[in-house]
Amino acid sequence: VDDIDNFGNRRIRAVGELIQNQVRTGLSRMERVVRERMTTQDIEAITPQTLINVRPVVAAIKEFFGTSQLSQFMDQNNPLAGLTHKRRLSALGPGGLSRERAGVEVRDVHPSHYGRMCPIETPEGPNIGLIGSLASFARINAFGFIETPYRRVEAGKVTDKIDYLTASEEVDYIVAQAGAELKADGSFATERVLARRGQGGEVDMFHADEIGYMDVSPRQMVSVGTSLIPFLEHDDANRALMGANMQRQAVPLLRSDSPFVGTGMEGYAAIDAGDVVTAEKAGVVMEVSADVVTVQLDEGGTQDYFLRKFDRSNQGNSYNQRVIVSAGDRVEVGEVIADGPATENGELAIGKNLLVAFMTWEGHNFEDAIILSQDLVKNDTLSSIHIEEYEVDARDTKLGKEEITRDLPNVAPDLLKDLDERGIVRIGAEVRPGDILVGKVTPKGETELSAEERLLRAIFNEKSREVRDTS
């Protein structure tokens, strides 16, 4: 009986296929409408415009992007969060499993995940094992199956020829691990080699002549997020899972440090996330300003690189790019010209290198509590910029129009000092929690007026109407 959880029997439906299905639904609805109109309308007066209504197709596509469980707001907390979100694999959603129905077998790590889906990076909680992350070297073939690369072994010698195999193709071979010792000519240093055999993935010692393939890298089995953890092999899998997930929650600091102890994946992660600016062509830097870098190209002509300055990310963090080259510097293709948020010199830098003391301190650091020194607070070592956007609507109510104004009832003048004549806070004003950003008044329900109020109404032309402050 075929194993339903084997990656040889499970395929990826990429975004193109999902949209294709939506378009197909929309087109079939449109076809039905066209057929109906063709039967009811006069053949002589018929035109394509009267027959075809594209609304069902547009509605189907909008429905997918607006309401589908698989259409998500991109996580832009830091470069790693965005990269991981784009490489996510989900067994949930339309045509997939539901959390309630998914048993333990579906969620469990399977031997066919090796080099295809990370066994570590998955959420804790109800979605554990249903949402995963694509392994570092994996790719998806034309049929939607995940392939992983292996070095071919020919006549007992490991070559540099790379073959991408699906889980079903891998079954027929014995695969040596990336750390197997090799001689200078590419043959195995020992007669018997630690390797794993196809289907069950059981590991054993095999004769060197039996080996068909060899792993390309020890990082092959884990995702980008997990491969940033140094000495991963010494960690407990459950804690490594927490670490891989927590890296995505780090907020970009004013100045981040790239780690003293890294794994060598930091540069690739930062560049592939697309948050650093890299040179497209080789040349010499001519001119540098805060938001544009001009490069004199070797092939002639110049190229401008425009930087994003203090944009708001989806999570409300500051998305800011900083130039790291100077005028006169030579840049090669792919070299980093500007750092993005949470990067330093083109390397992922999601934290700070701090001096840590492992000690008790009056019980204030009981269990997992941490004490920060006053210096860290004073020097803004762990400070970050957040950009918030506020929208205010002035609506028409049953009792009259709402109005944006600085003329607010019963508000002290010093609370209005930063509002302009329109009642909107001026640019450059420093505000504290609770300060008014936009003054707005809403009409109150009319009550029976006394003679004096009617007189005031007449004199001041309705200025004294009852309004509430809804700033």
Tell whether the model's pLDDT for residue 446 goes beyond 60.
yes
For 24, the token pair is 């197909």
Buried b or exposed e, range 261-286, using 16+ CB within 10 angstroms: eeeebbbbbbbbbebbbbbeeebebe
Which residues, in sequence order, are bridge partners of residue 206?
193
pLDDT interval class at 461 (50, 70, 90): low
Residue 271 near residue 310, CB atoms below 8 Å:
no
Looking at residue 447, its pLDDT comes to 65
Instruction: Output the pLDDT for position 466.
Output: 72
Report the range of poorest mean pLDDT among 42-56, 67-81, 260-274: 42-56
> Which position has the token pair 């570092």?
136
Predicted local distance difference test score (pLDDT) of residue 5: 94
Mean pLDDT score, 307-335: 96
Residue 367's SS3 state is coil
pTM over 0.85: yes
pLDDT, tens digit (0-9, with 9 covering 90-100), for 64-117: 999 999 999 999 999 999 999 999 999 999 999 999 999 999 999 999 999 999
**Dihedral pair phi/psi, residue 387, rounded to 5°:** -115, 120
Report which DSSP code applies to 4: T
Taking Cα atoms as reference points, which of 170, 180, 179 lies closest to residue 150?
A: 170
According to the model, what pLDDT value does residue 468 have?
79
Beta strands in 406-457 (DSSP E): 440-443
pLDDT band at 308 (very low <50, low <70, confident <90, very high): very high
DSSP result, 331-354: E-TT-EEEE-TTEETTEE--B---
Tell me the per-residue pLDDT of 400-440, one tens digit each, with 9 for 90 and over: 888 999 888 888 889 999 999 999 999 999 999 999 999 99
Domains of the chain in start order, with CATH, are: 1-71+88-223 (3.90.1100.10), 254-384 (2.40.50.100), 396-469 (2.40.50.150)
Query: In DSSP terms, which residues pair with 133 in a beta bridge?
Result: 88
Residues 82, 301: Cα–Cα separation, whole Å: 34
Closest CA to 335 of 267, 395, 266: 267
How many CB atoms are closer than 10 A to CB 293?
26
Identify the DSSP state of 252: P
- DSSP code of residue 382: T
SS3 21: helix
Q: Which residue has the higher pLDDT, 43 or 124?
A: 124
Is residue 122 classed exposed, middle or buried when 0-12, 13-18 and 19+ CB atoms within 10 A define those classes? buried
pLDDT of residue 46: 86
3-state secondary structure of 296: strand
pLDDT tier for residue 465 given thresholds of 50, 70 and 90:
low
User: Which of 140, 116, 85, 419 shows the shortest CA–CA distance to 274?
Assistant: 85
Q: Does residue 467 surpass a pLDDT of 80?
A: no
Q: Which residues pair with 287 in a beta bridge?
A: 294
The pLDDT of residue 464 is 53
Compute the mean pLDDT over every residue in the chain, rounded to the nearest whole number.
Answer: 93
The answer on pLDDT for 199 being more than 80 is: no
pLDDT, mean of residues 139-148? 97
Residue 469 pLDDT more than 80? no
Q: Is a pLDDT exceeding 70 seen at residue 463?
A: no
According to the model, what pLDDT value does residue 42 have?
A: 84
Mean of the pLDDT values across residues 284-289?
Answer: 97
What does 400-439 look like in DSSP terms, one character per residue?
A: EE-EE-S--TT--GGGSTTB-TTSBBPTT----TT--SB-
pLDDT beyond 80 at 448: no
* Structure token pair of residue 318: 């500051």
Q: Which of 161-170, 173-182, 260-269, 406-415 has the lowest mean pLDDT?
A: 406-415
pLDDT in tens, 7-28: 999 999 999 999 999 999 999 9
